[in-house]
Structure 1
Amino acid sequence: MEIDIGIKQSDREQIAEGLSRLLADSYTLYLKTHNFHWNVTGPMFQTLHIMFEEHYTELAEAVDVIAERIRSIGFPAPGTYKEFSELSTIKEEPGVPSATDMIKRSVEGHEAVVRTARSLFPVVESASDEATADLLTQRIQLHEKTAWMLRSLLE
């Protein structure tokens, strides 16, 4: 059945492509954060271990919301490591960084997600896709706040 939600097929396709990049960035950050949770050591272990768990739990819920939005506008959501690695601006973390470097890499990851989400606004706004705009706004707010809180740990 054709989709008739008031957004042109070509706009929905562009939005789905952008959301796929957001999904890939979010999933890659989820994986990186889970890795940090498992492998953090040092004097801030307890604090960081719990914080990373909170972050990856939130990201696990977010990837579902993003993927479901892609499906809602009529496109398949990417779902393999191969697709995510091709679409993501966030690269996997080799080895086990120090706790301080984990925090820095986390800040970089959250800021990358913000940039990816923000890059979608021109097409979303021109297509009057309020639902996607709302999703993007929520993701941007959360990731900007998380990056700020992480940066505060480095001062």
Structure 2
Amino acid sequence: MKASIGITPANLQAVASELSKLLADEFLLYTKTRNAHWNVEGPDFHSMHIFFEGQYEQLDDVMDSVAERIRQLGHYAPATMQSFLSLTHLTEKLGERNDSKGFIHELLTDHENVIIFLRENINKFGNDYGDLGTADFITGLMEEHEKMAWFLRAHL
């Protein structure tokens, strides 16, 4: 059943399409953070293992909220590896280093890319598509990513 929430079907489709790209980015970032948690090496292994776990747990919640927002708008969320890889703005390639600084640099770059994507869409969702709810929603996500990026940056 289509959502009848005062936003045209075309605008709902446009917002859902952008949110699908965001979901793909979030999924890839989650996977890369899990990789860091599993494979980090070095004298700071234990503390970084725990740190990365906290970050991937936050990203798990973010992914779920993005997928649910897509559903609230009356569209289906992408949910396959193939769809995520075709939609993401991020790269799956990780650096050669398995120490914490190598992972942190890679993840920080990805968070910053997600922040930029979110920032570019806030006004577009609100002003161009008339979806102030999703504009507010992604503003909150942007703030979460900014905090996660700050935590990563603080380790460098």
TM-score normalised by length of structure 2: 0.92
Gaps of at least 5 residues in structure 2 are none
- In structure 2, the residue matched to 1:34 is 34
Q: Distance in 1 between matches of 2:94 and 2:2?
A: 44
Q: Is the 8 A contact 2:95 2:106 kept in 1?
A: no
Tell me which residue corresponds to 1:110. Answer: 111
* Matching of residue 131 in structure 1 with residue 133 in structure 2: yes
Q: Distance in 2 between matches of 1:137 and 1:72?
A: 17
- Any conservation in 2 of the 1:29–1:109 contact (CA below 8 Å)? yes
Q: Are positions 1:91 and 2:91 aligned together?
A: yes
How many residue pairs match? The answer is 154
Structure 1 residue 133 displacement after superposition: 1.5
Q: Give 2:113's aligned amino acid.
A: A
Give the AA of the match of 1:144.
E
| C-alpha distance in 2 between matches for 1:85 and 1:137 | 24
Cα distance, 1:3 vs. partner? 2.5
- Which fold has the larger relative contact order, with Cα–Cα distance below 8 Å and residues 6 or more apart in sequence? 1
The residue type equivalent to 1:137 in the other structure is T
Query: What's the counterpart of residue 143 of structure 1?
Result: 145
Partner AA of 2:153 in structure 1: R
Counterparts of 2:126 and 2:137, CA distance in 1: 13
1:134 Cα deviation from its structure 2 partner:
2.0
Please give the TM-score of this superposition, normalised by the length of structure 1: 0.92
* Letter matched to residue 86 of structure 2: E
CA RMSD of the aligned region, Å? 1.5
Write the distance in 2 (CA, Å) between the matches of 1:95 and 1:121. Answer: 31
Q: Describe the SS at the equivalent of 1:120.
A: helix
Percent identity between the two aligned chains? 40
**Contact 1:20-1:87 at 8 Å conserved across structures:** yes
